[in-house]
């Protein structure tokens, strides 16, 4: 397992401030979105305004039978060389089998996305796979510390099943949280840093942390931990996991520095009311725009919808708007995948055996 920088910090288009500190690092040790002069996220009064609107106009509960579902089809142990299998476990949780590598993203197997088991957003449908049903997993990537992405019960369950064989890959600031739960095989990455995880003899999974436009808070402290998206690459196959993000102009840079990708997993939900959510969550049109900025290549799966009620849009609206935006952009129908919760997307990587394409990095 190794750490290194993919590109020296002085080459980053995000720039730096005096003293060589990356521009997304605050002087007090916290983090910020460097493309804003001041923090754009709504404050407490905005939150109270939104919650009051919710109380005055309650949202209808969706029919669980209407939530699209699929049949899990992961490889029993590992995918074939050059093959990608992405099984959507709901929200931002995927079981990714990228050739010889098996990765979990933001694993949440619990009934609620909440610090407590008796309150908070509950699943519309059960998790399609439990921890005990997973094939062997090499690594887990965690995009940020919100409860719908970092779930303590799921973390403890994975620790009990896989022990110290599992590598946890996070942005900066998470090592102590995991250490308090007796997990010490943790790699923290700053934006544009990468790590290699050996998944087979002389075969590594390369994981690069990239920017996202979001925030962190678990308890009272805000933005004391970093947030990120991730580029995953091994054996001629590549996946981009968008984590949780609002639209920002950095997707072109991400594509140039870490792409191209055979599969892009992008958040398309949790966007209404727009005045409150737009800095932290993309709507479907922005997610398709981000895919285009990344390079308009490979498959696309919209995530971060259909699992928990977090915001005000209709639960079934995100995929409808995604399809419309995809068609409006003139993108190939075959590249838009809609597996349903539990479904598995299977893709042959452009650089994999039997393909006609060049490898992801030429």
- The proportion of the chain whose per-residue pLDDT surpasses 90, expressed as a percent, equals 80
pLDDT score of 3: 54
Question: What pLDDT digit, counting tens, does each position of 61-113 carry?
Answer: 889 999 999 999 999 999 999 999 999 999 999 999 999 999 999 999 999 99
pLDDT score of 294: 98
Domain-located, residue 45: no
| 159: its two tokens | 């620790």
Distances (CA, A) of 1 to 136, 194, 195, 238, 308: 18, 10, 7, 19, 35
- Taking 50 as the threshold, does the pLDDT of residue 357 lie above it? no
Pick from 149, 61, 144: which is nearest to 108 by CA? 149
- The proportion of the chain whose per-residue pLDDT surpasses 70, expressed as a percent, equals 91
Domain count within the chain: 1
Which helix (H) or strand (E) is 300 found in, with range? strand 299-303
Q: How confident is the model at residue 51 (pLDDT cuts 50, 70, 90)?
A: confident
Domain-located, residue 47: no
Interval 340-357 mean pLDDT: 77
| 2: its two tokens | 């190794």
Question: What pLDDT digit, counting tens, does each position of 182-241 carry?
Answer: 999 999 999 999 999 999 888 999 999 999 999 999 988 899 999 999 999 998 999 999
Domain-located, residue 34: no
Higher pLDDT, residue 163 or 16: 163
Domain-located, residue 40: no
Domain-located, residue 303: yes
Q: Is the peptide bond before 237 cis (omega within 30 degrees of 0)?
A: no
- What CATH number is associated with residue 241? 3.60.15.10
Pick from 335, 349, 75: which is nearest to 236 by CA? 349
pLDDT score of 250: 97
Domain-located, residue 7: no
Q: What is the C-alpha to C-alpha distance for residues 135 and 1, in angstroms, rounded to an integer?
A: 21
Domain-located, residue 358: no
Q: Give me the chain's average pLDDT, please.
A: 91
- Taking 90 as the threshold, does the pLDDT of residue 15 lie above it? no
Domain of 150 in residue numbering reads as: 69-348
Domain-located, residue 150: yes
Q: What is the C-alpha to C-alpha distance for residues 142 and 228, in angstroms, rounded to an integer?
A: 8
Predicted TM-score (pTM) of this structure: 0.92
Distances (CA, A) of 61 to 51, 67, 309, 318, 354: 17, 12, 9, 16, 46
Neighbouring residues of 88: CB distance < 8 A, sequence distance ≥ 6: 70, 94, 128, 301, 303, 339, 340, 341, 342, 343, 344, 345
């Amino acid at each position: 397992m190794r750490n290194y920088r993919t590109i020296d910090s002085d080459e980053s288009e995000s720039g730096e401030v005096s003293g060589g500190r990356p521009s997304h690092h605050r002087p007090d040790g916290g983090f910020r979105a460097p493309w804003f002069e001041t923090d754009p996220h709504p404050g407490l009064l905005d939150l109270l305004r939104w919650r009051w609107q919710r109380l005055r106009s309650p949202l209808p509960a969706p029919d669980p039978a209407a939530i699209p579902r699929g049949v899990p089809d992961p490889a029993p142990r590992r995918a074939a060389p050059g093959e990608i299998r992405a099984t959507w476990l709901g929200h931002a949780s995927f079981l990714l089998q990228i050739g010889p590598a098996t990765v979990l993203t933001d694993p949440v197997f619990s009934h609620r996305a909440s610090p407590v088991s008796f309150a908070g957003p509950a699943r519309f449908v059960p998790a399609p796979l439990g921890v005990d049903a997973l094939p062997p997993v090499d690594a887990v990537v965690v995009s940020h510390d919100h409860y719908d992405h970092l779930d303590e019960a799921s973390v403890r369950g994975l620790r009990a099943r896989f022990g110290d064989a599992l590598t946890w890959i996070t942005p900066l600031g998470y090592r102590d949280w995991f250490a308090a739960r007796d997990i010490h095989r943790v790699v923290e990455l700053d934006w544009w840093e990468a790590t290699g995880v050996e998944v087979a003899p002389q075969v590594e999974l390369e994981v690069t942390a990239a920017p996202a436009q979001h925030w962190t808070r678990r308890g009272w402290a805000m933005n004391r931990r970093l947030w990120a998206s991730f580029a995953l690459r091994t054996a001629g196959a590549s996946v981009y996991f968008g984590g949780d993000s609002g639209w920002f102009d950095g997707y072109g840079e991400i594509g140039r520095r870490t792409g191209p990708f055979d599969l892009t997993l992008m958040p398309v939900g949790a966007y209404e009311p727009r005045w409150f959510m737009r800095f932290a969550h993309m709507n479907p049109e922005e997610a398709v725009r981000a895919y285009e900025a990344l390079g308009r290549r490979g498959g696309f799966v919209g995530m971060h919808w259909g699992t928990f009620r977090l915001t005000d849009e209709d639960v079934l609206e995100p995929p409808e708007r995604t399809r419309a935006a995809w068609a409006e952009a003139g993108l190939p129908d075959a590249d838009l995948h809609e597996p349903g919760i539990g479904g598995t997307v299977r893709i042959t990587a452009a650089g994999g055996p039997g393909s006609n394409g060049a490898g992801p990095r030429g």
